[in-house]
Chains A and B, each alone.
Chain A
């Protein structure tokens, strides 16, 4: 995204305003660091916690990687099947629509029973969160491949489903797959705290936030970790957009923008 020059620093203004407002209300209005820790205290906490914070972030990223990676690996083939074949769609869709509304948090008991207190238990909750957005967006992409493109493929020698999927449907649907993955990553990250709440490991942003800081009512630390949760997600999203969306889908520009 390239912004015009005068818009470049625009985001800074409201950000600084919000920070000032926060600091001001914490010091002069709320006057209770338990209810609202000061921004400066939170920033200092991030610095003070840096060692454990890095370890926690890495472990959370591990859980995230397991969950989103598996979600992608399972959702993509299923999406190809559902999007490409009406019969597969008809057969599988009711199950998908039944499971989809179940909140990831409701899966926690099962995750505990199935995977005990392991990284996989956390990964599983994140998997549930990330799976459905990836699946839904992806199969929509495969379903909406224009008929004329498939037929063009056929006339040029793409005979059989495998070739048509590989050379026509997949490239056409990739932007939808990417969008779904991006949304899925977002939802998956939101599940990280819940997934780690139950002490699946001795590290993890969610684990520390709930089991340590909140337990001891160290609210400046809690808010510091909240900020880190937001920042990591922001970075992940930016990286994804930079490396996947902007590079791979130059051709989409004419259609979207």
Chain B
């Protein structure tokens, strides 16, 4: 059993005044250590819902989510999350945003040990934060406030902030959905660089076929609501990948085929 993350028979039902909405039904998925896994599916199929459950922000109606052999009960800094919408703390500078998780961690550890040590020291915290700001290519912007940053820069800060607490797994919910195509390409390359350097497990939600083919080790295709996985495809293209290679195109076609299949309601295969 060497899975990093296991999702077992997860169903999520939202009940509101108008009735019940089944967002996910019987979802199964296994993620390997250090894997880059993309989840792709049409809008509203429950991708965000699934990621939120892995993050511990929501409890599944039924089923189990197991991370490193332990069931997920609630949110914790060992799962970093980058949200679909902008999520920087507007009152904190870039540096202080990236420091946030370490600051909280310092508070918790400080209480337990009675004295600050490790990342709870102010200086160490700063060093770690600066390292990650450097990693996402934002050196020189440490003292800027979020309102002074472009959309792409904001998402980079969010990535640095999620990485700073050294999570076991990084959950990314369409992080580049709201930036232009060029910036998106640059950010994708940077993310791959970070992934290769840190060897993190990454669960990456997207609805862009191109993005999935460029980034992923494996792509899991989701059906329309209620969502479930209809196919998991190994992306056996060598890295570094070329966006326009023949193989990539072939893979894209295969992926599109599966995505169109789900529209005619193919059975959930796992």
Contacts and interface: CB of A to CB of B under 8 A. Distances in A.
B19 interface: no
A251 interface: yes
A92 B161 CA distance: 38
Given A151-B57, A251-B91, A255-B90, A156 B147 contact: no
Interface residues of B, number: 32
B100 interface: yes
B91 A159 contact: no
B150 to A, nearest CB: 12
A251 B105 CA distance: 25
A154 B90 contact: no
A156 B81 CA distance: 8
A40 B233 CA distance: 89
B267 interface: no
Interface string A148-168: 110111111111000100011
Interface in B100-135: 100-101, 103-105, 107-108
Interface string B78-98: 011101011101111000000
B108 A155 contact: no
Contact of B146 (A151, A168, A174, A254): A254
Contacts of A89: none
B83 A148 contact: yes
B104 A163 contact: yes
A155 B77 contact: yes
A171 B145 CA distance: 14
Contacts of B147: 251, 253-255
A254 B90 contact: yes
A156 B161 contact: yes
Interface centre among A154, A174, A252 (most CB of B within 10 A): A154
A250 interface: yes
B104 A171 contact: no
B236 interface: no
B89 A155 contact: no
A154 to B, nearest CB: 4
Contacts of B100: 153, 156, 167
A203 interface: no
A156 B100 CA distance: 7
Nearest to B93: A251
Contacts of A210: none
A158 B148 contact: no
Given A155-B80, A157-B165, A149 B145 contact: no
Contacts of B104: 153, 156-158, 163, 167
Interface of B: 55-57, 74-77, 79-81, 83, 85-87, 89-92, 100-101, 103-105, 107-108, 145-148, 161-162, 165
